[in-house]
Chain A
Amino acid sequence: MKNAEELRAELSQTFAQLKAGEIKPSEAAELANLAGKMINSAKVQVEYYALRKESPRIEWLESPNTEIQRP
């Protein structure tokens, strides 16, 4: 998982598998826990820049497609 979009894809896939009973709840819970850590670390980064009144690029939060759209 190199960025937030990949994490989202992974999470939605896990949710679908959990619903279908393809994976155990304990496995899904582990992934959700790990995702929580990643989300929280990204949130800390966002809060840090907000406190410093800066708005730099946070690569992890940016989609690889946004790079192509930029001039």
Chain B
Amino acid sequence: MKTCTVCGEEKPESDYRLHSDKKTVMRYCNDCHLAKRRAQHAAKREERNAQFRARYAANANGVKDKMAAARKAKYAKQGRAALIAWAAANPEKAAEAQRKKMKRGRERLSDYYVRRLLCHPARSAVKQVPEILIECKRLQLMIERECREKR
């Protein structure tokens, strides 16, 4: 039996982890060790996420391309039905993803965003909006934005 230096409880040695030398036993029990590691992990969460986001944005080691390829492969394998099922199972996450997608589209004036402005799929019977109409609408929006900025 061994007393944990953190929680003070007396526990059998099997409840203690070994140090990296694989010989000596740690002073704190496994539960306290895991709690400490979880706290460390949570404390560094934002920093780690920021690092990963920066690496992703810079496409370090082609991480962005790899993830895009993985998404494409997953979509090809599972098809659209899996996405629809996921959205039905996670309505809040799906709504958040949609909001982000629309925000990105609004900033970049993507085809998706402009097409939705012209003919919203829920309100319109049009399945395919002519490309030329999308391009004209995009240019019109660009001019309007520029005018708003200059005024």
Chain A: residues with CB nearer than 8 A to chain B?
A: 4-5, 7-8, 11-12, 14-15, 18-19, 25-26, 28-29, 31-32, 35-36, 38-39, 42-43, 46-47, 50-51, 58, 61, 63
Contact with A along B119-151 (1 / 0, CB 8 A): 100001111011011011101101110110011
A15 in contact with B142 given A28-B147, A39-B137, A46-B129 (CB within 8 Å): yes
The residue from A7, A18, A19, A26 contacting B136, defined by CB atoms under 8 A apart: A7
- In the bound assembly, the distance between CA atoms of A12 and B139 in angstroms comes to 7
A29 to B133, Cβ gap below 8 A? no
Residues of chain B lying within 8 A (CB to CB) of residue A31? 143
Residues of B within 8 A of A11 (CB): 136, 139-140, 143
Of B126, B132, B140, B150, the contact of A32 (CB 8 Å cutoff)? B140
Candidates A5, A35, A42, A50; contact of B140 at CB < 8 Å: A35
Q: B143: which of A5, A18, A38 is its contact (CB, 8 Å)? A: A18
Task: Tell me which residues across on chain A come within 8 A of B137, comparing CB atoms.
Answer: 39
Residue contact A32 to B144, C-beta cutoff 8 Å: yes
Contact A46 B119 (CB under 8 A): yes
Chain B interface extent, by class? 20 to 34
A interface SS class: helix
18 of the cross-chain contacts (CB-CB < 8 Å) are A4-B130, A4-B132, A5-B132, A8-B132, A8-B135, A8-B139, A14-B143, A15-B139, A18-B143, A28-B146, A35-B140, A43-B133, A47-B125, A51-B125, A58-B130, A61-B130, A61-B132, A61-B133
Q: Is B83 an interface residue (CB 8 A)?
A: no
**CB–CB A25/B151 < 8 A:** yes
Report chain A residues within 8 Å CB of B118.
Answer: 39, 43
Bound together, the chains give a CA A32 to CA B144 distance in angstroms of: 7
Interface pair A46/B126, CB less than 8 Å apart = yes
Contact status of A18 and B147, CB under 8 A, knowing A47-B125, A47-B126, A51-B125 = yes
**Could you say which residues of chain A place their CB within 8 Å of the CB of B119?**
43, 46-47
List residues of chain A with CB within 8 A of the CB of B143.
11, 14-15, 18, 28-29, 31-32, 35
